Chain A
């Protein structure tokens, strides 16, 4: 009998039975995240199910991140309802300003290797970077977890992504994620897991892996899992894979997703010269300390923000914001005229924060560029690495960040 993939091993352990790809199991959930985008509905389902007590409140956590700060009375009321429910049931709440739930899940140590962690938000796949089986769910499944602590899951087939080499100067994990999106397409990994392995993995820091795992849902993946830095769950050498995708990290070049599809990807140089009026640095993909350092280095090397460009900075969490404040990066951004906004999801999904105007071209470190995604269907969103976004801010037009590579450490 063939060996098992990481996903098969974790889900077998959580279901307490021997599961293979294609099997359905009822699995114990180690931790579940809900956000203000999903919990208000989940509370409704929970009450309709007849729920009176949350099965294990220590395994549930809420983040007020989508409407941070709430831009309307209705949104504030959603927050109030969540706080009251959490208080009644003893659930921890990350309140407005603490940051994006996914970032806080990682920072708080709630994700451990080999765990099953779900989030009522599609970008819960981010935690696969930490060797967890991590996937997104809806509000009703979150309600069911609050009822019984469990979820039914079909064990996915896995695509093995074999990484070799190391990224060259001016090339970042976001470029790897966009390369994968281009190669696989928006549904290329539907119902499947992406399992990253190979000698190239060691060259990627945890922060790098988080970017790649985060974007696996843009290929339809159920989870995007890396080996643990140490220990954790490893695949058997004779595990069965649906297929293998090879990526030589040394051959990856800066990429950009064009409006309005994440898999509409081209080398950033092919889009060079396209004027840009807004540059957005932040989100659960590109809002960590290293992302802002990379962007700051390019901006400094290039001499700052071009006239007519609005630079928006949204750290993924208060801890990221604190770090940037202490190490001087925040002061650099402010001196360059950046608009610094509350840590959270707002602008990325157009629920609050900086909304682009009609006809505006935005380049962003985010993960989605659907029409209307940032709150205006008449704007165009381009997705790229923090360095590519910064290069565009310098030029006022899309540019290859390697043009600045001689002048910074990146």
Chain B
């Protein structure tokens, strides 16, 4: 991936955050617009989140983030709130794919030491590195498969397909 640098505030969630907790199934029935759906982000588990989220915030979660339904609004609604990356100990596979396909950066890393409100710096130049400006700690992230890096680099699956028209293995 080309060099990228993000600075943001950590918003902490636990393990096994399923996609219905990110955005409930019934919301996508009424609108698919990320600017509408962002108002309901995490409403079942954190009623204050949608009002307090700020562009640039980073979601930081435990294991198995995005499990359950494969619904893609769970990625686009997060982007709609101005969140560019999700850090988690691990991701459910459908969320991982959907995130990359929409240009939301999924960062699999050890998130145990990160606290609510910590200022994080994410740098990507070859590998992804997370640094806490609050504690000074540096965390290495697991690498993405090459094809996912290419899709992310293109800005998502839509610009990737506009360029290639098909999947091209790196």
Contact = CB atoms under 8 A, between A and B. Distances in A.
Do A and B truly interact? Answer: yes
Interface of A: 24-26, 37-38, 40-41, 44-45, 48-50, 66-67, 71-72, 74-75, 78, 120-122, 136-141, 143-144, 147-148, 150-152, 154, 186-187, 190-191, 220, 222, 261, 349-352, 368, 370-373, 375, 377
Given A24-B145, A220-B92, A139 B72 contact: yes
Contacts of A190: 64, 90, 92-93
Given A45-B157, A351-B29, 6 more contacts: A74-B30, A122-B68, A122-B70, A152-B147, A350-B26, A375-B26
7 contacts: A24-B169, A67-B29, A187-B16, A190-B92, A351-B26, A370-B44, A377-B44
Contact of A137 (B45, B97, B162, B169): B97
6 closest A-B pairs by CB? A187-B64, A140-B101, A138-B98, A49-B161, A138-B72, A372-B44
Contacts of B133: none
Interface string B58-99: 000001100111111101100000000000001011100110
Contacts of B76: 41
A67 B29 CA distance: 8
Nearest to B19: A122
Contact of B98 (A24, A72, A140): A140
A193 to B, nearest CB: 11
A141 B67 CA distance: 17
A372 B70 contact: no
B157 A370 contact: no
Contact of A38 (B70, B156, B158): B70
B57 interface: no
Given A120-B70, A190-B92, A261-B16, A45 B158 contact: yes
Contacts of B18: 368, 370
B131 interface: no
A355 B78 CA distance: 27
A140 B158 contact: yes
Given A75-B29, A370-B20, A148 B165 contact: yes
A9 to B, nearest CB: 20
B35 interface: no
A180 B44 CA distance: 27
A154 B70 contact: no
A187 B64 CA distance: 6
Contacts, number: 142
B102 interface: yes
A191 B70 contact: no
B2 interface: no
A352 B102 CA distance: 28
Contacts of A139: 72
Contacts of B72: 38, 41, 138-140
A147 B165 contact: yes
Contacts of B97: 137-138, 141
A44 B25 CA distance: 19
A6 to B, nearest CB: 18
Contacts of B162: 48-50
A72 B30 contact: yes
Contacts of B32: 40-41, 44
B151 to A, nearest CB: 9
Given A41-B72, A74-B29, A187-B63, A141 B166 contact: no
Nearest to B145: A24
Nearest to A350: B26
B8 to A, nearest CB: 24
Nearest to B25: A349
B28 A138 contact: no
**Chain B CB within 10 Å, residue with most, of A25, A37, A350:** A37
Nearest to B168: A26
Given A24-B145, A136-B94, A186-B67, A152 B169 contact: yes
Given A137-B70, A141-B101, A152-B147, A220 B93 contact: yes
B31 interface: yes
B119 interface: no
Contacts of A370: 18, 20-21, 44, 68
Contacts of A137: 70, 94, 97
A368 B167 CA distance: 33
A187 B98 CA distance: 18
Contacts of A38: 70-72
